Amino acid sequence: MKRILLLTLLSLFLSSCVSLPFAEEKVEIERNLYTNLPGSSGKVLAVKFDDTSAARPQAGVEAADIVYITQVEAGLTRLMGIYSSNYPEVLGPIRSARISDLSILGEYGKVGFLYSGAQSKMRPVISAANLVNLSAERNPPSIYFNDPSRRSPYSMMVRPNLLLEKAGDVELAKKPGWQHGARAEGAKKIISAEIEWPNARYKAIWSDSEKKFLLNHNGRANIASSGIQLGSTMMVIQIVNISPSEYGDKFGGITPKSEVIGSGHGYLLRNQRVVKALWNRASLSEPTTWSLEDGSPAYFSPGQLWFFLTDNEPKFTYLPKSAKG
């Protein structure tokens, strides 16, 4: 009987072992199409931010997948954040739309566009564009509201999650023109990069402790309302033609337009290094692609992506050869 019992137990043990997997299945992690970071690729919202010193600290810029910096009237800059994976409770300060925004957004499909307003001459152009107008002109003060701790016109904030409920026609993020991959072998180590417009200046400074470029704006650390200094491992300085448009502001200033359709050059900043690259975009609805000067792909690193659209060549401070590892 004991022998039979032992054989029975042995048989049960072996059969249970056979049912165990010999190797763990590899689980694919979902990654955002824009940043290549773990996360979803949801509906695309584009949000216009004020970018003057009076508008700081900004709320929610650090949660964007992509941030564009563009020139506006008087040589100042504004930001446009692209969100598809994380939608903060509050964003702002929110400002008005500009003609360059429509050219930039064409490659992202039918996005939801969040802004405070637009001059009357631009409204029919916005209506004809391939986007969903989610502006303050079409939404109540329960969604777009004034922060009492900020002074006008730097006080308008927005609750983007409430607009997602109205974003039925907004498309999901699609694969962009850039690719993620290994850094170019010819990339050079830098300490910082300076990017300028007529009346605005950014400086991207590499931080060894945080392992990313941290941003200064007009000589001051660019601190968000969350308390963190804005920055990323991946930044792109895109050299574009900037020329006067047919539009202007209420003070008589001429609105500049950044030309992002066509081709040109730029600089990829990633992981303390910089390399020159070429950009190309054939039409409004097609994506912008990036290549190295030899024609091979210019790969981006994972992370929030900043685009600096300027017509001025940046100034780099290179790491001295004696300090290189």
Q: Are 304 and 66 in contact (CB under 8 A)?
A: yes
Q: What is the predicted pLDDT for the residue at 311?
A: 98
pTM of the model: 0.91
- HEC sequence for the chain: CHHHHHHHHHHHHHHHHHHCCCCCCCCCCCECCCCCCECCCCECEEEEEECCHHHCCCECHHHCCEEEEEECHHHCEEEEEEECCCCCCCEECECCCCHHHHHHHHHHCCEEEECCCCCCCCHHHHHHCCEEECCHHHCCCCCEEECCCCCCCCCEEECHHHHHCCCCCCCECCCCCCCECCCCCCCEEEEEEEEEECCEEEEEEEECCCCEEEEEECCEECECCCCCECEECEEEEEECEEEEEEEECCCCCEEEEEECCEEEEEEEEECCEEEEEEEEECCCCCCCEEECCCCCECCECCCCEEEEEECCCCEEEECCHHHCC
Per-residue pLDDT 10s for the chain (325 aa) are 445 444 444 454 444 444 445 455 677 899 999 999 999 999 999 999 999 999 999 999 999 999 999 999 999 999 999 999 999 999 999 999 999 999 999 999 999 999 999 999 999 999 999 999 999 999 999 999 999 999 999 999 999 999 999 999 999 999 999 999 999 999 999 999 999 999 999 999 999 999 999 999 999 999 999 999 999 999 999 999 999 999 988 888 899 999 999 999 999 999 999 999 999 999 999 999 999 999 999 999 999 999 999 999 999 999 987 655 5
> Cα(30)–Cα(322) distance, rounded to whole angstroms?
42
Tens digit of each residue's pLDDT (9 = 90 or more) over 215-233: 999 999 999 999 999 999 9
Q: What is the predicted pLDDT for the residue at 321?
A: 75
Alpha-carbon Rg for the chain, nearest whole angstrom, is 24
Q: What is the predicted pLDDT for the residue at 9?
A: 46
**Residue 291 token pair:** 């290549």
Please report, in angstroms and rounded to a whole number, the separation of the first and last CA atoms in the chain.
Answer: 73
Q: What is the predicted pLDDT for the residue at 7?
A: 47
Q: What is the predicted pLDDT for the residue at 6?
A: 46
**Residue 321 token pair:** 């050869």
> Cα(156)–Cα(49) distance, rounded to whole angstroms?
10
Q: What is the predicted pLDDT for the residue at 27?
A: 76
